């Protein structure tokens, strides 16, 4: 179990007044070493607190006093101080198995930790969930959680997870719902495996057994050029249309039975099927925005000033440990620095993925005629990978190298973690200067107006 290390101390805070320094390692808080940031906050939420820290090999005892509910003023270096609970499934569709060799080690961590589900919206299969975990989730109010359902038929689910516990682990979903925990589910739909009749059985099973689910997202299988599973393949357009039609049919069933739609198809399905997106209000609270559900309509609303829209969280592997700072997954994805711009008559180019370009192009055309939307093809991953959040530096760099100098180039922050792409390329290494813009409609509109 690693000791949480202090990486920042707020000036004038209780921690600062007590003499806590960056680099200190927390040995104990009132005699207890927290396992994770959740326990850390529970222990820190008191008026007086004794901290024992390791400072360069010396043990130092510090007494902190909080006044008027002020925050402790510490930032630590990780969310989990004990070992992350890794995944023991062997899913055919797991994208981490499709990574090439030589990438950052953290990208290969397959977590199945309910704490990361609570903290950052990671999806857990519950195959490693225990009675002790349930007790903690209920007693500490760890809600919402995000659960990978994939199928409600026990045999199908066990096959999808390649884990016999997959056949029974949804009992924990039932227990969480019975305990009043808000749970959002997802189904990764694999053509020929859990689509069609199997998907219909799943949607029926949700209504019969897990109707308290806050939402359920149907998301398409991602297949890279490194895929080694012959049964895993991208959706064909007619298959995507069939998923949309089935989801919309069951939305009406849920609406009649529960008073809400509950299930939603990811935006990618509508793009694959060549269909328009549903109206924003049909998505309710857009609870699975960061899972690609309702993201296009939320972006449009923010861009056109019709609402707050939604802020995109990290995509893909930026929900891994390296993309999970203690402040939460909505923390800045890239360093913010003041940018002085000279007037450029040559216009603006917005770089995004192939799916994003289809959403952005008609929007930006409404506000500026000199804005080009450049769809960057993801040749690094290949296959059907076309979302902006999985763009790599080498693909963005190749696209920029073929574009003229003198233009403003805007890049969404969702493809970055700590200023770096998935392949480790830094923003500063790109062949053209780029401006990193938060991946929401309102931020892009402001950037275009600057």
What pLDDT shows up at residue 308?
Answer: 58
Low-confidence winner among 21-25, 164-168, 200-204, 308-312 (lowest mean pLDDT): 308-312
The matching CATH number, chosen from 2.60.40.10, 2.30.42.60, 3.40.50.9100, 3.20.20.70, for 6-76 is: 2.30.42.60
Tens-digit pLDDT profile for residues 94-128? 999 999 988 888 888 889 999 999 998 999 999 99
What is the mean pLDDT of the segment spanning 17-23? Answer: 95
What pLDDT shows up at residue 315?
Answer: 44
* CA separation for the pair 434, 446 (Å, rounded): 16
Tens-digit pLDDT profile for residues 41-77? 888 888 899 999 999 999 999 999 988 888 899 899 8
Q: CA-CA distances (angstroms) from residue 314 to 131, 218, 323?
A: 31, 19, 8
Residue 336 has pLDDT above 80, yes or no: no
Structural domain 96-293, CATH architecture: Alpha-Beta Barrel (3.20)
* CA separation for the pair 52, 133 (Å, rounded): 28
* CA separation for the pair 445, 447 (Å, rounded): 5
376 Cβ neighbours under 8 A, 6+ residues apart = 351, 352, 353, 354, 391, 395, 396, 399
Length of the chain: 450
Residue 381 has pLDDT above 90, yes or no: yes
What pLDDT shows up at residue 309?
Answer: 56
pTM of the model: 0.89
Tens-digit pLDDT profile for residues 179-214? 999 999 999 999 999 999 999 999 999 999 999 999
* CA separation for the pair 445, 363 (Å, rounded): 10
Q: State the SS3 of 140-189.
A: CCCCCEEEECCCCCHHHHHHHHCCHHHHCCHHHHHHHHHCCCCEEEEEEE
Tens-digit pLDDT profile for residues 403-414? 999 899 999 999
Strands annotated E in 2-101: 6-9, 25-29, 48-55, 58-65, 74-76
* CA separation for the pair 13, 85 (Å, rounded): 33
Domain boundaries, the chain: 6-76, 96-293, 348-449
Helix 295-303 / helix 441-449 crossing angle, nearest 10 deg = 40
> 304-332 burial, b if ≥16 CB within 10 A, otherwise e?
eeeeebbbbbbbbbbbbbbbbbbeebeee
324 Cβ neighbours under 8 A, 6+ residues apart = 79, 116, 119, 120
User: Read out DSSP for 368-429?
Assistant: -TTEEEEEEP-TTT-TT---GGG--HHHHHHHHHTS-TTSEEEEEGGG-BTTB-TTS-BGGG
What is the mean pLDDT of the segment spanning 24-32? Answer: 94
Residue 34 or 313, more confident = 34
DSSP state of 269: H
């Amino acid at each position: 179990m690693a000791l949480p290390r202090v990486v920042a101390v707020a000036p004038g805070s209780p921690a600062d007044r007590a003499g806590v320094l960056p680099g200190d390692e927390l040995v104990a808080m009132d005699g207890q070493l927290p396992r994770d940031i959740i326990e850390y906050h529970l222990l820190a939420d008191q008026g007086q607190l004794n901290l024992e820290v390791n400072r360069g090999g010396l043990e130092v005892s510090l007494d902190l006093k909080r006044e008027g509910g002020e925050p402790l003023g510490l930032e630590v270096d990780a969310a989990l101080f004990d070992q992350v609970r890794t995944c023991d499934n062997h899913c055919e569709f797991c994208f981490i198995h499709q990574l090439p060799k030589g990438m950052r080690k953290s990208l290969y961590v397959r977590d199945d930790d309910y704490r990361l589900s609570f903290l950052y919206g990671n999806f857990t299969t519950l195959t490693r969930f225990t009675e002790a975990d349930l007790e903690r989730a209920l007693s500490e109010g760890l809600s919402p959680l995000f659960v990978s359902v994939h199928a409600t038929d026990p045999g199908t689910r066990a096959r999808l997870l390649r884990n016999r516990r997959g056949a029974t682990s949804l009992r924990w979903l039932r227990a969480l719902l019975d305990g009043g925990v808000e749970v959002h589910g997802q189904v990764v739909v694999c053509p020929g495996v859990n689509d069609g009749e199997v998907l219909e059985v799943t949607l029926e099973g949700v209504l019969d057994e897990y109707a308290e689910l806050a939402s359920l997202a149907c998301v398409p299988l991602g297949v890279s050029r490194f895929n080694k599973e012959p049964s895993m393949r991208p959706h064909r357009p007619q298959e995507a249309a069939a998923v949309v039609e089935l989801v919309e049919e069951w939305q009406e069933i849920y609406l009649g039975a529960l008073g809400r739609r509950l299930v939603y198809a990811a935006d990618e399905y509508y793009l694959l099927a060549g269909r328009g997106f549903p109206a924003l209000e049909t998505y309710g609270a857009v609870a699975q925005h960061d899972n690609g559900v309702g993201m296009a309509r939320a972006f449009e609303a923010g861009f056109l000033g019709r609402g707050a829209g939604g802020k995109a969280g990290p995509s893909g592997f930026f929900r891994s440990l390296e993309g999970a700072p203690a402040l939460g997954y909505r923390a800045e994805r890239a360093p913010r620095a003041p940018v002085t711009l000279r007037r450029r008559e040559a216009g603006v180019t917005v770089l995004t993925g192939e799916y994003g370009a289809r959403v952005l192009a008609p929007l930006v055309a409404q506000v500026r005629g000199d804005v080009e939307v450049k769809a960057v093809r993801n040749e690094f991953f290949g296959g059907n990978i076309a979302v902006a959040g999985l763009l790599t530096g080498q693909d963005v760099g190749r696209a920029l190298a073929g574009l003229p100098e003198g233009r403003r180039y805007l890049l969404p922050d969702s493809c970055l973690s700590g200023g770096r792409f998935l392949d480790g390329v830094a923003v500063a290494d790109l062949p053209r200067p780029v401006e990193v813009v938060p991946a929401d409609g309102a931020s892009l509109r402001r950037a275009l107006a600057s």
